[in-house]
Structure 1
Amino acid sequence: MSEARKPPTRVALVLKGYPRLSETFIAQEILALERLGLAITIVSLRHPTDRHRHPVHQEIQAPLVYLPEYLWHEPLRVLRGWWQARRLPGYRRMRRLWLRDLIRDRSPNRVRRFGQACVLAGETAAADRAGQGALAGIGHVYAHFLHTPASVARYAACALERPWSVSAHARDIWTIPDWEKREKLAGMQAAGAAWAVTCTAYGAAHLQELSGGSPVDLVYHGLDFSRFQPNPEAASSRDGSDPADPLLILSVGRLVAKKGYDDLLRALAALPPDLHWRFVHVGGGAQAAQTATLAEELGLSDRIDWRGAQPQQAVLEALRQADLFVLASRIAEDGDRDGLPNVLMEAQSQRLACIATGISAIPELIRDGETGCLVAPHSPDGLAAAIGRLGRDPAERARLAAAGEARVRSAFAMERGIDDLAARFVIGAGPASGAPDPGH
């Protein structure tokens, strides 16, 4: 192995928050790369808010460093970090980058990112001098998400004069201004960044237009199928005709604007009275109260089970009990949208027929009429028609579910993406998960 291709001693993986139930794709990546020999220190900009953890979080061995969530929470730590950072060889360039960004984004968040980056760079330098600590030996800074985490990673890596890379996803791509995306992506090699990836072809095409020629590569997250074994239960024959055994409709997702749960509730309210159903929702979110209020206004409350955020095993059990999975994603007013929701892959892995909207990267997974059903966004009537049609037709649900499972297990296994990242980090090939993929 040449010196230029020597793997980093340790990678600082910068996240907005850790652990998060909605970001299992990041946790599975961390664990898989650890098992391939990559030394990782998780750097989180925020403390966790979820009450539960997934099993994968308990298996991760990486040390965890929380940066000051708000600079005024830990003023002495911020001051000490800035004092240490300003002695670094790349500090002046870091400060120029930040001031150029601040002119275009005069916000408290931009100041906070600079302060967090100073703490990360300063504490990394101090750990290197001491030869110990979770941040000692950092050779590469890697951010998940192109917005806040990438800003902190970029500033800190600049001060440390070490390479940085980014994995972009969904909200981070569509809610930050184009100038910021260009600044981070264009000429990344010259800025000391090793590479940029994103998890959908839809997102990659957009970012490549702004990158100034620097490549932005597609790397699907996929699923760790050792955690999503095939569903041992036979497909349900429920058709909504029996009020004592109603059709079970499931959705998993955060209660936020881009998930379109108001559209889904209105679709449920429009279903014919002779179709008997129950709806189960798994997930938290900022719009939980107003969504529950809308359900009550529509007269649906007694037919809905709001389960809140749940660990992975509970989600898996819900998928195995359901007859139909529905996700009504749409583009929110601020531009936020889904990329390729992992919950759709999880549902298909359990041989569950899926109805989703044909936006963003969802058609990269679901082929309408072949591996699932796609409807237009913002269309309660379209959702209601699809739910009614598939709800009454167990044979059609079974056909779509079987085709969806076959496709997701053949084309969206986690190992392919992990192998790509392993090559980028120059670590050895090997089993990326704790058990073989049962779908192969």
Structure 2
Amino acid sequence: MTNKTIVVLLKGYPRLSETFIAQELLGLERAGFTLKLVAMRRPTDKKRHPVHDEIKAPVSYLPEYLHEEPVRVAKALMKVVTLPGFGSALKAFFRDLPRDFSRNRFRRFGQAAVLVAEWPDDAGWLHVHFIHTPAAVARYASRMSGIPFTVSAHAKDIWTSEAWDLSDKLDEADWTVTCTKAGHERLQSLSARDNVHLSYHGLDLERFPHFAGTRPARDGRDPDDPVRIVSVGRAVKKKGYDTLLRALALLPQELAWRFTHIGGGDELSPLKALSEDLGIASRITWKGALDQREVLEHYRDSDLFSLACRITADGDRDGLPNVMVEAASQNLAVVATNISGIIELFVDGENGLLVAPEDPVALAAALEKAIREPALRQRLGQAAEAKVRHDFDHHTSIADLKRLFTQSFASREAHR
């Protein structure tokens, strides 16, 4: 295969919460692809993961808001209006506008114009992460330029988008790949073509090698050596941290435990206030955002991982949170909820403990069981790690993407 340069369009870059994207970018580079990254937003995280520094691809940024760079946007529009495909893009825009009459819709068209006007000469393909707003930019850009595009769809972007919007993008993209069976089934049901593929992100197991250490058999009876519970995730509604805090507050008072949360998020202040109201604040440590190496240390120093994911009122939800795969890779027992892609890795009682979402009583019972039974934690952790190392190696997902890109490039060459 002749090496091809792929422009990868991202919502924001780099982001601490999107290690799965960074891992994929590095994997594609190692597989022989040349990448150029274009992000719709500049970074806001104060830290970055080591993997971000290993990625060689240059990064450029589209105007996040059109009014902030009016000259750049105007020059782009003057350039792309002469392209044969501009009329097709404009037709799609005016078809979309009555269904989504918003400032964002205009912004996506303007960003698409800038993307096309500043397109690198050596790039022949556009790949986009997330099928909501980034794919809208990609779709308009593809129509303007005639350059094909492909999509990686994940979780929120699948479940909070309108069906018509998803269908249009699925039908125009060369192919779409997604990372859970649940997401695959939804997208496939909305596509008129058989072009949606399932490929789990997997984990870079070299960054998460087997933990050869021994965890103490803590059982919650020694107040000087409490069971250590950790959770990693942004403090946002879909993570269910309010449910987890309420479950912790329901544990027997004499049970010795400590809870550590890792991550940023808009809900941190309300959650801290809730922990005060529930009388458990003294048992909780809020670490904020940490890089991957620091998170790994916490997995290895903990006895139990917990996350209480939910489906929010607007349909937002996680797929299979990468942090749960990471925790399982470290032989760490997991207590979680049985939604979305979580059940594609964990089976209740076999390699984790799962309860229904929005049920702090059931979650408390599962937590108490795991706290009191170190032998159970060990058995569940070992089984979860075995499944991760067998079924969730990221080399599989990179091989899937390499095959898809190679087939697409070959097909395009054949039709020239």
Query: Under TM normalisation by the shorter chain, which class is it?
Result: over 0.9
Report the TM-score when normalising by structure 2: 0.96
Mapping for residues 216-227 of structure 1, pairs under 5 Å: 216-227=196-207
Counterpart of 1:46 in structure 2 is 41
Gap change, CA 1:143 and 1:213, over 3 Å in 2:
same
- Contact 1:84–1:123 at 8 Å: present in 2 too? no
Q: Residue type of the partner of 2:146?
A: E
Supply the distance in 1 between the matched residues of 2:112 and 2:194 (Cα, whole angstroms): 24
> 2:180 pairs with 159, 179, 200, which one?
200
SS of the aligned residue for 2:121 comes to coil
- Contact 2:353–2:366 at 8 Å: present in 1 too? yes
Supply the distance in 2 between the matched residues of 1:106 and 1:138 (Cα, whole angstroms): 32
SS of the aligned residue for 1:361 comes to helix
- Contact 1:349–1:405 at 8 Å: present in 2 too? yes
Large movers: runs of 4+ above 3 Å: none
Q: Is 1:100 the counterpart of 2:95 in the alignment?
A: yes
SS of the aligned residue for 1:202 comes to helix
> 1:19 pairs with 14, 26, 31, which one?
14
Supply the distance in 1 between the matched residues of 2:92 and 2:33 (Cα, whole angstroms): 30
Counterpart of 1:131 in structure 2 is none
Q: Residue type of the partner of 1:35?
A: R
> 1:304 pairs with 255, 270, 284, which one?
284
- Contact 2:174–2:195 at 8 Å: present in 1 too? no
Deviation at 1:349, TM superposition (A): 0.3
Structure 1 gap segments, 5+ residues each: 125-134, 428-440
Counterpart of 1:148 in structure 2 is 133
Counterpart of 2:401 in structure 1 is 421
> 1:178 pairs with 159, 163, 180, which one?
163
RMSD: 1.1
Supply the distance in 2 between the matched residues of 1:349 and 1:272 (Cα, whole angstroms): 30
Bigger Cα displacement from structure 2, 232-241 vs 163-172: 232-241
The C-alpha deviation readout for 1:19-56, integer Å capped at 9, x for no partner, is: 00010010011011111111111110001110000000
SS of the aligned residue for 1:81 comes to helix
> 2:28 pairs with 7, 11, 33, which one?
33
Supply the distance in 2 between the matched residues of 1:224 and 1:83 (Cα, whole angstroms): 44
Report the TM-score when normalising by structure 1: 0.91
Deviation at 1:302, TM superposition (A): 1.1
Counterpart of 2:410 in structure 1 is none
SS of the aligned residue for 1:249 comes to strand
- Contact 1:185–1:214 at 8 Å: present in 2 too? no
Mapping for residues 111-190 of structure 1, pairs under 5 Å: 111-124=106-119, 135-186=120-171, 188=172
Counterpart of 1:375 in structure 2 is 355
Deviation at 1:57, TM superposition (A): 0.1
Deviation at 1:289, TM superposition (A): 1.0
- Contact 2:14–2:48 at 8 Å: present in 1 too? yes
Q: Residue type of the partner of 2:56?
A: Q
Deviation at 1:197, TM superposition (A): 0.7
SS of the aligned residue for 2:261 comes to strand
Supply the distance in 2 between the matched residues of 1:208 and 1:233 (Cα, whole angstroms): 43
Supply the distance in 2 between the matched residues of 1:365 and 1:88 (Cα, whole angstroms): 47
Deviation at 1:232, TM superposition (A): 2.4
- Contact 2:188–2:194 at 8 Å: present in 1 too? yes
- Contact 1:83–1:122 at 8 Å: present in 2 too? no
Deviation at 1:107, TM superposition (A): 0.6
SS of the aligned residue for 2:89 comes to helix
Q: Percent identity?
A: 53
Supply the distance in 2 between the matched residues of 1:140 and 1:73 (Cα, whole angstroms): 28
Supply the distance in 2 between the matched residues of 1:290 and 1:117 (Cα, whole angstroms): 38
Deviation at 1:387, TM superposition (A): 0.5
Supply the distance in 1 between the matched residues of 2:398 and 2:281 (Cα, whole angstroms): 42
Structure 2 gap segments, 5+ residues each: 408-416
Supply the distance in 2 between the matched residues of 1:310 and 1:85 (Cα, whole angstroms): 42
Mapping for residues 232-251 of structure 1, pairs under 5 Å: 232-251=212-231
The C-alpha deviation readout for 1:263-286, integer Å capped at 9, x for no partner, is: 000000000012111100001111
Counterpart of 1:130 in structure 2 is none
Q: Residue type of the partner of 1:286?
A: D
Deviation at 1:213, TM superposition (A): 2.9
SS of the aligned residue for 1:194 comes to coil
Supply the distance in 2 between the matched residues of 1:321 and 1:83 (Cα, whole angstroms): 58
Alignment: residue pair count: 407
